Structure 1
Amino acid sequence: MNIVVLGPGAIGSLWAYSLHQAGHTVALYSKQEHDKLPLQLDGNTPITLANNQPVSLQNADVLLVTVKAPQVIPALEVLRSDLHPDCIVVLMHNGMGTAEIVASRLPNNPLVLATTTHGALRQSRHQVLHTGQGSTQLGGYNSKGNQCDFLQQVFAHALPDVYWNENILDALWLKLAINCAINPLTAIHQVKNGQLADEAFKPTLHQLLDEVHQVMTCEGLTLSRNELNTHVYNVIQATAENRSSMHQDICHHRLSEIDFITGYLIQKAHDHQLDVPSNEALYQQIKRIEKSWTS
């Protein structure tokens, strides 16, 4: 297949390299102005991929979007005129809230949502490390996207394990809940994920998850409060040495994905006339930190 990866950061580069090695024609779209970019995964042989070439986009069967949530809509606006209406758009990023907008802006394109637990780290500008073996879930968002279950085999052949999930929104909500618990706290306190298992964070996490579970229940998810707690603490333990993406963004004075994580939760809570004061407090703290860089 002809596949364009929009946003070759850590995860985007991991998938671009893996899909290329699986035999697909892969091109990139990035902020870099060069028409070709070298890319290396771990210590493997480097490859060179086309970059920012309209013809690649015009011929694309799949557009894999791996930019951060706040960049999704602006990035797609720039590319929309060159995107064929049959091209499958796959959104793979933290947070929620972009799919509704993308579906309205690209009403004719099949839209697929993805979530992955693979770990990746940018070692240098052109080298990415695969730091943790994980799995990926794909699922359709609109009616045309629902017909794209063959992508499971395409992606699985490149980077297993991959599953097609008919209820992908449930999986995304669970990831959102985990991110609401972990990301703002690690960013504000500048701690690794594993430190959230300390007794000092237990009351705050309990309050956050109580609120998140109420919203999830109103959204139709059947996950129990105890199951949610287990999922969150399992991730804290499994990623104990990791620094969350929000932690890294705040550390490097980059705008975070807070609007598409906790902000999205708050929006849904308001839709259901629920109060989520603990989550709102963390949201405001992150926004104040971001604002302080420009004041």
Structure 2
Amino acid sequence: MAEQPTIHILGAGALGSLWAAQLSQQNHVILLVKPDTVDPAQSYRSFQFVDQNQTSTVTLPCEPSISHVKEEHLIETLLVFTKSYDTLNAVKQLAPRITPLTRIVLFQNGMGSQQEVTNLLPNNPIFAASTTEGANRPDKSRVIYAGKGETWLGSIGAQQPECELKSLSSLLASSGLKLTRTPDIWEKLWLKLAINCAINPYTALLDCNNGELIGQPLFDNSITLLCHELSQAMKISGIEKTADELQALVIDVINKTANNVSSMLQDVRAGKQTEIEYINGYIESLAHTHELSMPTNLWLLQQVRARY
């Protein structure tokens, strides 16, 4: 019997735990966790995985996410689910275990962390994933698979042969989750960024679920202006989407995810740092670089910064 592939998962929050649970059925999955949470005598972590009405217990081996160990514990495939602002440092802390052959898949929200990692490891096979899978973790011992979605995977690092993307997508598809490989992952990342820019800060400022945005004066009176700015930002980056197309997409996502609590609002409610700098903040840095004014986006960015 062939040995199972080993996959390391960094960032075992809701989404990381969902992928860990699904991938562990056919692969050897190891969670990389903060050193102070790994008990040397019990280096496993268990959680209840709730998929629709079925609950199962998932138990996975753990290793510390900060490594001083060299060659003998090298990482072959690394899936990164950390927050955008933690990603660069989290990958740096694993440097002794990362070789030029280590495949890294980034699942971050927003934009900016992908470029930081590719700059750190310019010769590595680095990929980005954009996913609509839904998961939440009401407490540390329970992960709920909240809604089936789709994941797109594409290369963003050093030029890789097509067979490398094919091999990795086959490995991730062993999760049973719907996966599609794409030659242009940047377009998917940009669309997700635009949607996040147009939903997350509003939910954080209004303290409401996605579906409650429509009809709120703050949202209704500024979303069209914001979509014009986002369309302009995308055009600078080589992606053509009209403001009308973006606004229609945003409204569609709001309606389809009406009961969802955005990740930014979840962070605000939990008193945690938000990812605003990698969402609306990325758009503002792009505007600044190109000496453009995007006042609606800047106002949202400043409001979230000021309040949280």
- Verify: 1:179 aligned to 2:196, yes or no: yes
Residue among 140, 144, 149 paired with 1:129: 144
Q: CA offsets per residue over residues 77-123 of structure 1, 9 Å max, x none?
A: 21111222211010001111012211121223210001100100103
Per-residue deviation at 1:199? 5.4
- Partner of 2:261 in structure 1? 243
Does the 8 Å CA contact 1:213/1:225 hold for their aligned counterparts?
yes
Does the 8 Å CA contact 2:74/2:97 hold for their aligned counterparts?
no
Does the 8 Å CA contact 1:112/1:145 hold for their aligned counterparts?
no
1:80-159 counterparts in 2 under 5 A?
80-145=95-160, 147=162, 148-150=164-166, 151-159=168-176
Unpaired stretches in structure 1, ≥5 consecutive residues: 291-295
Q: How many residues align?
A: 289
Does the 8 Å CA contact 2:224/2:243 hold for their aligned counterparts?
no
Per-residue deviation at 1:51? 1.2
- Verify: 1:284 aligned to 2:292, yes or no: no
- Partner of 1:49 in structure 2? 60
Supply the distance in 1 between the matched residues of 2:197 and 2:284 (Cα, whole angstroms).
10
Residue 123 of structure 1 aligns to a residue in which SS? strand
Unpaired stretches in structure 2, ≥5 consecutive residues: none
Q: Which has the higher strand share?
A: 2
Per mean C-alpha deviation after superposition, the further-off stretch among 203-212 and 110-119 is: 203-212
Q: Aligned AA for 1:9?
A: G
Q: TM-score, normalised by structure 2?
A: 0.89
- Verify: 1:210 aligned to 2:257, yes or no: no
Does the 8 Å CA contact 1:17/1:41 hold for their aligned counterparts?
yes
Q: Aligned AA for 1:18?
A: Q
Per-residue deviation at 1:248? 1.1
Residue identity (%): 36
Q: Which has the higher helix share?
A: 1
Q: TM-score, normalised by structure 1?
A: 0.93
Does the 8 Å CA contact 1:116/1:136 hold for their aligned counterparts?
yes
Q: CA offsets per residue over residues 244-293 of structure 1, 9 Å max, x none?
A: 01011111211000010001111112222221111111111111122xxx
- Verify: 1:11 aligned to 2:22, yes or no: no
Residue among 7, 22, 28 paired with 1:25: 28
Supply the distance in 1 between the matched residues of 2:72 and 2:20 (Cα, whole angstroms).
15
CA distance 1:57–1:177, change in 2 (3 Å): farther
- Partner of 2:48 in structure 1? 40
> Aligned-pair RMSD on alpha carbons?
1.8
Per mean C-alpha deviation after superposition, the further-off stretch among 41-50 and 120-129 is: 41-50
